[in-house]
Structure 1
Amino acid sequence: MLDVTVIEDPAAAAASLDPVRARLLAELATGPASAAMLAGQVGLPRQKVNYHLKALERHGLVELAGERRKGNVTERLMRATAASYVISPLALAALQPDPDRFRDQLSARWLLALGARLVRDVGTLIRGAAKARKRLATYALDGEVTFASAADRAAFIEELTAGVSALIRKYDAADAEGGRGHRIVVAVHPTVKAGTGEPRAAEPETPELTRNSPDDTNT
């Protein structure tokens, strides 16, 4: 079982978003189970559960883990193909965000568009690498920092921008034969309170950090 997988197919995305099927996926992420076992857990008839399992199997969201005899019946034990799923913007190809349409480093919605592109591109790369049976070279850095003030945050962003830009200028070899391009995304946003959509702590903003699009919240 994969830790996380990306759903690109619109029909598979729709299947995963169905409340009953999402509940079945959650149950199967904890271990293999048959339709009869799941029926008692989700409170539905076995036939109904089996119908949903077949739909999930068609879209590659669950797979056969094994079979067992129970009386005169052979039960199929199913398991989720991943512990969690992320829906790629490719599932809504005509509506997926395009961060190249506008560039505003202080816009929360531009940050969201970058995040959506990251999910789309990495999902596509994972699929391609798996098909080619090759390793995918990636790197991610995740951390938290508490700023004493909005001014300190502004100074941090200024230094971060200068440092990353200098590294890009130092190592960029666009004309190198055999060189391979890599995308760099760096994000800074308030930490979210557990279980809410609110920032962990509110703080007064400085003018240079509140220049957002009209429909943006402060970032």
Structure 2
Amino acid sequence: MEDIFYVDDLNQLKALSDPFKVKILWEIDEVPKTGKMLADQLHLSPSKVRYHLTELEKVGLIKIDRTEEKMVLFKSSIERLQKEFPLRR
């Protein structure tokens, strides 16, 4: 039996009327994906995907399990800065 989702809130309806949010929902319907994977598949910037994911989570349409990407982005930013501005120990 298929799960049926009932829209019980105007904010949920508003989220479902956004084409980008609907595309994201279709993409994660069967397989969980990272924000980066969604950005690549939908040809959107990672920040735009993150915004839409956050909005979908706020209205209860999705659940974000992990946010490891932020740690990775932070680490790569630090590495890039160290290459541009070497620090002596």
TM-score normalised to the size of structure 2?
0.70
Structure 1 residues 44 and 69, CA gap change in structure 2 (3 angstroms): closer
Of Structure 1 and Structure 2, the greater helix share is in 2
Paired letter, 2:38: L
Note the C-alpha offset of 1:73. 3.9
- 1:63 corresponds to which residue? 63
The residue correspondences of 1:26-45 to structure 2 (distance < 5 A) are 26-45=26-45
For 1:67 and 1:35, how far apart are their aligned partners in 2?
9
Of Structure 1 and Structure 2, the greater strand share is in 1
For 2:73 and 2:37, how far apart are their aligned partners in 1?
14
Deviations for 1:113-171, whole angstroms, at most 9, x for unmatched residues? xxxxxxxxxxxxxxxxxxxxxxxxxxxxxxxxxxxxxxxxxxxxxxxxxxxxxxxxxxx
Unaligned runs of 5+ in 2: 75-89
- Count of equivalent residues: 73
- 2:64 match: secondary structure: strand
Structure possessing the higher radius of gyration over alpha carbons:
1
Note the C-alpha offset of 1:66. 3.5
TM-score normalised to the size of structure 1?
0.30
For 1:69 and 1:19, how far apart are their aligned partners in 2?
24
Structure 1 residues 48 and 69, CA gap change in structure 2 (3 angstroms): closer
Higher relative contact order (Cα pairs below 8 Å, separated by 6+ residues)? 2
Unaligned runs of 5+ in 1: 75-219
Note the C-alpha offset of 1:38. 0.2
For 1:54 and 1:5, how far apart are their aligned partners in 2?
19
For 1:59 and 1:71, how far apart are their aligned partners in 2?
25
